[in-house]
Amino acid sequence: MADNTKDELLHDHNHDGIDRRGFLKCMAWAGTGALCVMQGGVLKSYSMSRPSEMNPADMKGELSFVQISDSHMGFNKPANPDVAATLQAAVDKINALSRPPEFLLHTGDISHLSKPAEFDTVEQILKSASAKDVFYVPGEHDVLNDDGKQYHERFAKGAQEGGWYSFEKKGVHFVGLVNVMNLKAGGLGTLGHEQLEWLERDVKHLKSSTPIVVFAHIPLWAVYPEWGWGTEDSAQALAYLKKFGSVTVLNGHIHQIMQKVEGNVTFHTACSTAFPQPKPGEAPSPGPMKVPAEQLRSALGITDVNYVSGQHALAVVDSTLA
Amino acid sequence: MRRTVFLASLLVMAVVGLGGIVGEHRSFVASAQEKTASTTEVKIDNFVFGPAAVTVPVGTTVTWINRDDIPHTVVSTEKAFKSKVLDTDEKFSYTFTKAGEYPYFCSIHPKMTGKVVVQ
């Protein structure tokens, strides 16, 4: 990713004077509790700890949804002994949004050990969210022991056999991909031929002006291959999406916010609602990262996404649980 | 050096001799000689199989024990063995009855790989 530290306008897609990189620079603060919103071409930022300064009108758009990820229900080690409580805190955060999101996207690792009780608890907690529809994709923790049979029966009944699917909301085309099955020794996430062929057919006849949102568990770009943070055959998937003017890729798995812009594609990973993980290479392994108890909730979070018709980019805003 | 070799070969002969006379105690004597007995342990921690490569004699039972705070699995790439999901402190054992090389990995975190060489 090019390191652009100058303030020049490189890509003014929305003709509003805001470079997408400028917007993303501001979003980098969002993970620590700042909400950045584009309003009339001016970038404004509000600290999440001072909600009275936030104007609900700033959040207007045709479509808004929230991404949550990596709830790991069943995890109970020191990094977070109560993941149900932090998932509930995430739901409370969703319910406190001035505009209820239309639906939720859960980008996987719903459960920690693929146990029925773990799936039950997550579904139960999410029932109290203001958004009643939840769309899921599985994480590797959701398909243990049974090749994903249980996950499929609970969350992917209407999907293709492999669990992938697509749907439309207000003119935005959503694609849920599965990249956690049939992982090979020493490998990364994988989509496989069958899914790639389905994806090609699925988007073939869409107009290039259709905004696309792809969501999958493991990142679709090489965040840090040494830790398995990437997908081997994602380049082929992205090739099928090349014609579209706006593609947003939402992933989980790495338990921290990372963003990348490549042409018309914005990649974004979400926080976990369970426990944070270290930045690439900053620890010997990618396991649960312990933080002081009072800091835990500010290392977890949700992602609010707004689509405004006519805008090139989806407005993606992260907020932490504290 | 020659004296050491001489003494060592005396020892080997004594061992073999003992083995011949007291057949059922052979494995006991053998384990006194070799560090790897009929069981070997591989610890799983920090997303690493430790040791990543072990060499064991035929008949050895290898026990993997998960000391990590995240679950892992032990899956043979040649489909010779496959553990269930191992949470912290859970174990999986497999007895290697045939010589050969057995590469394996964690199916949840496929970057984790290891190998058992059975001689």
Looking at the partner chain, which of A113, A184, A227 has a beta carbon nearest the beta carbon of B85?
A113
pLDDT at A59 over 60: no
pLDDT mean across residues, chain A: 83
Looking at the partner chain, which of B69, B77, B110 has a beta carbon nearest the beta carbon of A77?
B69
Which helix (DSSP H) or strand (DSSP E) does residue B32 occupy? helix B26-33
A114 Cβ contact list (under 8 Å, min separation 6): A141, A142, A143, A144, A145, A146, A150, A151, B85
Supply the pLDDT for residue A63: 83
> Any long-range contacts for B42-47 (C-beta under 8 Å, 24+ apart)?
B42/B114, B43/B67, B44/B68, B44/B72, B44/B74, B44/B86, B44/B106, B46/A284, B46/A285, B46/A287, B47/A227, B47/A285, B47/A286, B47/A287, B47/B72, B47/B109, B47/B111, B47/B112
Q: Give me the domain span that covers residue A134.
A: 63-320
Q: Which residues, in sequence order, are bridge partners of residue A165? A: A176
Supply the pLDDT for residue B9: 61
Residues A272, A36: Cα–Cα separation, whole Å: 20
Q: What is the pLDDT of residues B98-107, one digit of tens each?
A: 999 999 999 9
Residues B34, B30: Cα–Cα separation, whole Å: 6
Residue A43 pLDDT level (bands cut at 50, 70, 90)? very low
In single-letter form, the type of residue at position A98 comes to S
CATH of the domain at A68: 3.60.21.10
Q: What is the pLDDT of residues A236-282, one digit of tens each?
A: 999 999 999 889 999 999 999 998 888 889 899 999 999 999 999 89
Name the CATH topology of B36-118.
Immunoglobulin-like (2.60.40)
- Optimal mutation site among B46, B48, B68, B70, interface A, most CBs of chain A within 10 A: B70
Residue A305 pLDDT level (bands cut at 50, 70, 90)? confident
Q: Is residue A179 part of a domain?
A: yes
Residues of chain B contacting A187 with CB distance shorter than 8 Å: 110-111
Task: Quote the minimal CA–CA distance from B65 to chain A in Å.
Answer: 17
| Domain limits, chain B | 1-33, 36-118
Share of chain B above pLDDT 70, in %: 69
Structural contact between residues A274 and A76, judged by C-beta atoms closer than 8 angstroms: no
- Average the pLDDT over each of A34-38, A204-208, A249-253 and give the range with the smallest value: A34-38
Q: Is A32 helix (H, G, I), strand (E, B) or coil?
A: coil
Q: Is residue A24 part of a domain?
A: no
Chain B's closest residue to A218, CA to CA, is: B109
- The number of domains in chain A is 1
- Check: pTM over 0.90? Answer yes or no: no
Mean pLDDT of B23-29: 48
Q: Is residue A247 part of a domain?
A: yes
Mean pLDDT of B19-34: 49
Residues A284, A278: Cα–Cα separation, whole Å: 9
Supply the pLDDT for residue A26: 39
pLDDT at A46 over 90: no
